[in-house]
Amino acid sequence: MNVVTPFEGIGASVKRKEDLRFLSGRGQYTDDINRPGQTYAAILRSPHAHARIASIDTVAAAAMPGVVAVFTGADMPDLGGIPCGWQIHNKDGSPMAEPMHPVLAVGKVRFVGDAVAAVIAETRAQAKDAAEAIAVEYEVLPAVATLEAALAPGAAQVHDDVAGNVCYDWHIGDKAINEAGFAKAAKVVEFELVNNRLVPNAMEPRAAIGDYDPTTEDYTLYTTSQNPHVIRLLMGAFVLHLPEHKLRVVAPDVGGGFGSKIFHYAEEAIVTWAAGRVKRPVKWTAERTESFITDAHGRDHVTKARLALDANGKFLALHVQTLANMGAYLSTFATSVPTYLYATLLAGVYATPSVYAEVKAVFTNTVPVDAYRGAGRPEATFLLERLVDVAAAETGMDRVEIRRRNFIPADAFPYQTPVALQYDSGDYQATLNQALEAAGWAGFEARRAEAKARGRLRGIGISTYVEACGIAPSAVVGSLGARAGLYEVGTIRVHPTGSVTVLTGTHSHGQGHETTFAQLVTDRLGVPLAQVDVVHGDTAKIPFGMGTYGSRSLAVGGSAMVKAMDKIVAKAKRIAAHLMEASVEDVEFDRGTFRVAGTDKTKSWAEIALTAYVPHNYPIEELEPGLDETAFYDPKNFTYPGGCHICEVEIEPETGITTVVNFTAVDDVGRVINPMIVEGQVQGGVCQGIGQALLESCVYDSEGQLVSASFMDYQMPRANDLPMVSVATHTTLCTHNPLGVKGCGEVGAIGSPPAVINAVVDALKEYGVRHIEMPATAAKIWGIINASRPAMAAE
Amino acid sequence: MPQVTLTVNGKTSTVDVEGRTLLVELLREKLRLTGTHVGCDTSQCGACVVHVDGESVKACTILALQANGSQVTTIEGLAKPDGTLHPMQEAFREYHALQCGFCTPGMVMSAIDLVEKHPDGMSEKEIREGLEGNLCRCTGYHNIVKAIAAAQEVMHGRAQALAPAAE
């Protein structure tokens, strides 16, 4: 019988395996988990951005109904500080300033939200009530809430041992060559811009449950994490001093991360440590405002740039000076974001011969800042793509032509940039051409005129970008200061009946790995998708792993699976050769069938799997039973997705309201495994980028109070703020991983913000606007239009 | 301690609550129906939407005591006993209208009420406006809007089966 089954392998838009449980309310997010005898933690947080703690009185709180324990920093003298995972060096070679980050504040609080005390109680409400009864006497100190304030002469010191609030003063590129480039310039374009601070706001607030078994002395932490093994490493080795075999970290279903759930947070250490003290499970769940004042924020750069061009509009040299806000303490990957994830991307898609970048990272009395969707690459892309538009305007060149003239040509790969990276593949002309066609670029002026007749200002903007993801080669990042390897681990466990369990060290929190990774197995081994399950998020089940961020899961984690499948197939062929009495060199394998080459002798996948576990007729002297292989994969290079985003907006001049009317993304993400999932990732990323460009603004007042600390005050994009997003791909394969994949998780958020702002500036060109800072809110745009009214009327 | 009696997904329960207990706390912590989520504390995100006597309600914005005597439907109660999904659940799956899944229960419950209140069908713009009480950070809403547009045809009997998503 010939059974026709739908194709479920690489390239098929199969529906997601994980959806049924989420659609039925049967997901298991951290706060959905309840442990027997569980208590609840509430964290008392600093209401001041900067203050000395004169005293903490917990007596009244400890006597409140249901209170089990109250802890302050003084109760934790043996705990280590929360570590930073990446050491950056100053221009002079000295290491960055790395101040202590205590789990609960000791002596001083440094941002609104800094954890001061933890109450453990029988119920959530009792814990909150008791936290309010703790009396803390603060001596309020002057605070520095912005980069400018922190660097001003005589500014308050966030850390007594960090002079001038400077964490590091770093650079990359050759300064002398750069200066020579400027010396030859026919035109120099100077430009300053801000990359606005954002709050990630995954819909699931962070949560953590600590559990302790006094009989085995085993600790378990359930946490909303993108990388449970990394949390085990950071919290176990550096904070709680627990060996790996006594600490299990489970990251169950996680409701979105966008980077904010990479990092090791104080609350994880608090609940784990407290569980050991009170000998009961301890659960903490953030309220949304608590998320706003404790989840690491994103972006927050202030940049000055100069671009040298020759008389033909070719870029000669780029000089960039960036100030990057670190917040009050160094979060896990904070230091790498404005350096190796940002400045190394400042060549962009252009063959600029020289790039020299200087980055100063600065402490302020604000929430720590770390990676947020794209992490450094959106900041680089926004700078470059705004700068190129400004250069086009100031040299009288067409916006598309100036890009074409400076693109790295398709035949120049592998291409060594002047800022360390070597791009392996890409075709920027091709993605540009495809996007121009799809967006109807050529017909835009007619649409502008039609809009004008309706009283609307219409603009179009373009952004061409490359990013670096699939992080990362361990030796390379190690030489740059990373304190971990960035390989990934995959196990392919073939069961006796032939079904497969995949164990991966990456973590899925919306990306659909349970489906995409299963498709890899189906494609290679021929096992139907329904018989492949993917397991992630538990250090007790998965050998090891570095987690999910930097669009690395498929490029690095998927490659580890391919390596493990290579081992599976090699072993299975030896079993098949034995059963078919053939030489192993003569056995071919294709999606579920082993065949002696050139004959009709075959064995099925199920027969080989069963034989591996029931080895009655088996080459037992030379081959172990079982079919279960693990591989570690360390990538050879980053991967380099790129593409072109085109945005079309209409502005209502009476209100300044901007509507995105069309958005076209053409991205090169390498080989596409599941087109439906890739489109969804790009759409979501683009919409986050539109949010950054038009709506989202994280605002501190001058005293360090976060005034945009709820969904009432921080404008998250809603359905009616956003357009349909047209997504297409143009593939060049990654040349150095076995799947040819590059990554799609961040491209949307990287490519889109400058496309939006370029469109807004284009729409406002009759008002002489050179630049508008993000978010380009209605108030800002209305202000620009209104301010120019008398002048225009006078003309 | 006051008591509240209510019927959730066809099952009647009587539960001791504090006066300040929210309906969502009763559902999640007393009845262990954890499909209804809490995503904010200002009634902005809609992750907690359930149906109370047939109307969509943010379960974080109603006291448990206010639901006394009510019929409540949560995401767990949507599918038929044989497991057949509600057309809206099916549409979300078909159109890839969920990623992390956290906003999904509230989004589905809101969408069902929205469709039921618009028997003549909704345009894309009307669907987008109708979703103003629900936040999603993953999808950009593109596929949620498409799923609702497809589901409304089935729910109003204008289509026998869900239109398949384009490949």
pLDDT in tens, A532-587: 999 999 999 999 999 999 999 999 999 999 999 999 999 999 999 999 999 999 99
Two structure tokens written together for A17: 């395996």
Contact A710 B44 (CB under 8 A): yes
Which residue of A23, A198, A209, A712 to mutate against B (max B Cβ within 10 Å)? A23
Residue B162 lies in a domain: no
Contact B140 A687 (CB under 8 A): yes
What pLDDT does A792 receive? 53
Q: In the predicted model, what is the mean pLDDT of chain A?
A: 97
Query: Which residue from A13, A26, A204 is facing B102, i.e. has the nearest CB?
Result: A204
**Which chain A residues have a beta carbon less than 8 Å from that of B127?**
719
**Are residues B37 and B93 both part of a single domain?**
no
Q: How far apart are CA A333 and CA A87, in angstroms?
A: 9
A518-530 in b/e form (b: 16+ CB < 10 A) is: bbbbbbbbbbbbe
Number of domains in chain B: 2
Residue B132 lies in a domain: yes
What pLDDT does A182 receive? 98
**CB contact at 8 A, A563 and A633:** yes
- B128 contact A CB<8A: yes
Burial class of B59 by CB neighbour count within 10 A (0 to 12, 13 to 18, 19+): buried
Domain boundary (B55, B76, B97) is at B76
Contact B96 A677 (CB under 8 A): yes
Residue B43 lies in a domain: yes
What pLDDT does A2 receive? 45
Q: Which residue on chain B is closest to A202 by alpha carbon?
A: B137
Question: What is the least distance, in Å, from the CA of B69 to any CA of chain A?
Answer: 23
Largest CA distance in chain A: 97
What pLDDT does A789 receive? 73
**Are residues A118 and A244 both part of a single domain?**
yes
Contact A23 B93 (CB under 8 A): yes
**CB contact at 8 A, A588 and A522:** no
**Which chain A residues have a beta carbon less than 8 Å from that of B48?**
none
Q: How far apart are CA A269 and CA A242, in angstroms?
A: 11
Contact B124 A724 (CB under 8 A): yes
Burial class of A446 by CB neighbour count within 10 A (0 to 12, 13 to 18, 19+): exposed
Question: What is the least distance, in Å, from the CA of B23 to any CA of chain A?
Answer: 15
Q: How far apart are CA A201 and CA A716, in angstroms?
A: 8
What pLDDT does A1 receive? 39
**CB contact at 8 A, A420 and A342:** no
Question: What is the least distance, in Å, from the CA of A374 to any CA of chain B?
Answer: 14
- B100 contact A CB<8A: yes
- Domain membership of residue A394 as a residue range: 151-196+299-407
pLDDT in tens, A411-447: 999 999 999 999 999 999 999 999 999 999 999 999 9
Q: How far apart are CA A262 and CA A271, in angstroms?
A: 18
Question: What is the least distance, in Å, from the CA of B158 to any CA of chain A?
Answer: 24
Which residue of A19, A515, A645, A688 to mutate against B (max B Cβ within 10 Å)? A19
Q: How far apart are CA B78 and CA A165, in angstroms?
A: 55
Confidence of residue A59 (pLDDT cuts 50, 70, 90): very high
- B89 contact A CB<8A: yes
**Are residues A629 and A644 both part of a single domain?**
no
The mean per-residue pLDDT over the stretch A56-76 comes to: 98
Contact B100 A23 (CB under 8 A): no
Q: What is the DSSP letter of B61?
A: S
Q: What is the DSSP letter of B42?
A: S
**Are residues A776 and A719 both part of a single domain?**
yes
Which residue type occupies A340? Y
Residue B35 lies in a domain: yes
With 70 as the cut, is the pLDDT of residue A794 above it? no
**Are residues B113 and B59 both part of a single domain?**
no
pLDDT in tens, A485-527: 999 999 999 999 999 999 999 999 999 999 999 999 999 999 9
The CATH number given to whatever domain includes residue A755 is 3.30.365.10
**CB contact at 8 A, A88 and A339:** yes
The mean per-residue pLDDT over the stretch A451-467 comes to: 98
Two structure tokens written together for A228: 């449970």
Transcribe A251-320 into DSSP letters: --B----TTTTTS--HHHHHHHHHHHHHTS-EEEE--HHHHHHHS-BB--EEEEEEEEE-TTS-EEEEEE
C-alpha R_g of chain B: 16
The number of C-alpha atoms within 13 Å of B110 and in the hemisphere containing its C-beta is 26
Domain boundary (A597, A616, A633) is at A633
Which residue of A24, A29, A694, A695 to mutate against B (max B Cβ within 10 Å)? A24
**CB contact at 8 A, A595 and A601:** yes
The mean per-residue pLDDT over the stretch A679-699 comes to: 98
Domain boundary (A268, A294, A320) is at A294
**Are residues B38 and B99 both part of a single domain?**
no
pLDDT in tens, A115-173: 999 999 999 999 999 999 999 999 999 999 999 999 999 999 999 999 999 999 999 99
Q: How far apart are CA A361 and CA A324, in angstroms?
A: 5
The mean per-residue pLDDT over the stretch A90-105 comes to: 98
Contact A22 B104 (CB under 8 A): yes
Residue B62 lies in a domain: yes
- B33 contact A CB<8A: yes
**Are residues A276 and A162 both part of a single domain?**
no
Which residue type occupies A658? T
- B80 contact A CB<8A: no
Q: C-alpha angle A35/A38/A40, rounded to 5°? A: 130
Contact A676 B85 (CB under 8 A): no
**Are residues B99 and B46 both part of a single domain?**
no
The CATH number given to whatever domain includes residue B13 is 3.10.20.30
> Which residues share a beta bridge with A40?
A121, A283
The CATH number given to whatever domain includes residue B125 is 1.10.150.120
**Distance from chain centroid for Cα A267:** 21
Which residue of B17, B34, B73, B142 to mutate against A (max A Cβ within 10 Å)? B142
Contact A29 B37 (CB under 8 A): yes
Q: C-alpha angle B107/B113/B115, rounded to 5°? A: 95
Is residue B19 helix, strand or coil? coil
Two structure tokens written together for A753: 């913000």
**Which chain B residues have a beta carbon less than 8 Å from that of A679?**
96
Percent of chain A with pLDDT over 70: 99
**Are residues A76 and A213 both part of a single domain?**
yes
**Are residues A499 and A398 both part of a single domain?**
no
Question: What is the least distance, in Å, from the CA of B35 to any CA of chain A?
Answer: 4
Number of domains in chain A: 4
> Which residues share a beta bridge with A369?
A297
Burial class of A483 by CB neighbour count within 10 A (0 to 12, 13 to 18, 19+): middle
**Are residues A209 and A313 both part of a single domain?**
no
- B3 contact A CB<8A: no
Whose tokens are 């980055």? That residue is: A359
What pLDDT does A5 receive? 64
Residue A224 lies in a domain: yes
**Which chain B residues have a beta carbon less than 8 Å from that of A15?**
93-94, 96
Helix, strand, coil in percent for chain A, rounding step 5: 35, 25, 45
**Which chain A residues have a beta carbon less than 8 Å from that of B141?**
687, 718-719, 722
Transcribe A89-141 into DSSP letters: B-TTSPBPP-----SS--SEE-STT-EEEEEEESSHHHHHHHHHT-EEEEEE-
Q: How far apart are CA A251 and CA A236, in angstroms?
A: 16
The mean per-residue pLDDT over the stretch A255-275 comes to: 98
**Are residues A506 and A603 both part of a single domain?**
yes
What pLDDT does A791 receive? 53
The mean per-residue pLDDT over the stretch A41-65 comes to: 98
Q: What residues contact A765, with CB distance under 8 A and at least 6 apart? A: A459
**CB contact at 8 A, A714 and A199:** yes
Residue B130 lies in a domain: yes
Burial class of B61 by CB neighbour count within 10 A (0 to 12, 13 to 18, 19+): middle
**Are residues A305 and A273 both part of a single domain?**
no
Question: What is the least distance, in Å, from the CA of A239 to any CA of chain B?
Answer: 29
Residue A482 lies in a domain: no
Residue A251 lies in a domain: yes
Contact A720 B132 (CB under 8 A): yes
Quote the pTM value.
0.97
**Are residues B115 and B147 both part of a single domain?**
yes
Residue A93 lies in a domain: no
The candidate with the shortest Cα–Cα distance to B167, out of A509, A6, A514, is A6
**Are residues A766 and A666 both part of a single domain?**
yes
Which residues of chain B fall below pLDDT 50? none
**Are residues A181 and A306 both part of a single domain?**
yes
Query: Which residue from A13, A22, A29 is facing B167, i.e. has the nearest CB?
Result: A13
Contact B102 A255 (CB under 8 A): yes
Residue B164 lies in a domain: no
Residue A17 lies in a domain: no
Task: Work out how many CB contacts closer than 8 A connect A with B.
Answer: 178
Which residue of A16, A123, A124, A203 to mutate against B (max B Cβ within 10 Å)? A203
Contact A22 B76 (CB under 8 A): no
Query: Which residue from A13, A287, A719 is facing B145, i.e. has the nearest CB?
Result: A719
**CB contact at 8 A, A265 and A41:** no
**Are residues B65 and B92 both part of a single domain?**
no
Which residue type occupies B166? A
Q: Which residue on chain B is closest to A292 by alpha carbon?
A: B40
Residue B55 lies in a domain: yes
> Which residues share a beta bridge with A118?
A43, A71
**Are residues A700 and A588 both part of a single domain?**
no
What pLDDT does B166 receive? 84
Domain boundary (B21, B51, B76) is at B76
CB atoms near residue B152 (< 10 Å): 25
Contact B136 A32 (CB under 8 A): no
Q: Which residue on chain A is closest to B139 by alpha carbon?
A: A684
- Domain membership of residue B143 as a residue range: 87-155
**Which chain A residues have a beta carbon less than 8 Å from that of B33?**
25
**Are residues B67 and B95 both part of a single domain?**
no
Q: Which residue on chain B is closest to A746 by alpha carbon?
A: B138
Query: Which residue from B36, B39, B132 is facing A205, i.e. has the nearest CB?
Result: B39
> Which residues share a beta bridge with A493?
A501, A628
* Residue that wins the pLDDT comparison between A790 and B107: B107
Residue A1 lies in a domain: no
Q: How far apart are CA B48 and CA B59, in angstroms?
A: 5
Is residue A716 helix, strand or coil? coil
Give residue A384's region: left, alpha or beta (phi > 0; psi -120 to 50). Answer: alpha
Whose tokens are 């669907």? That residue is: B127
Domain boundary (B29, B57, B76) is at B76
Domain boundary (A241, A262, A294) is at A294
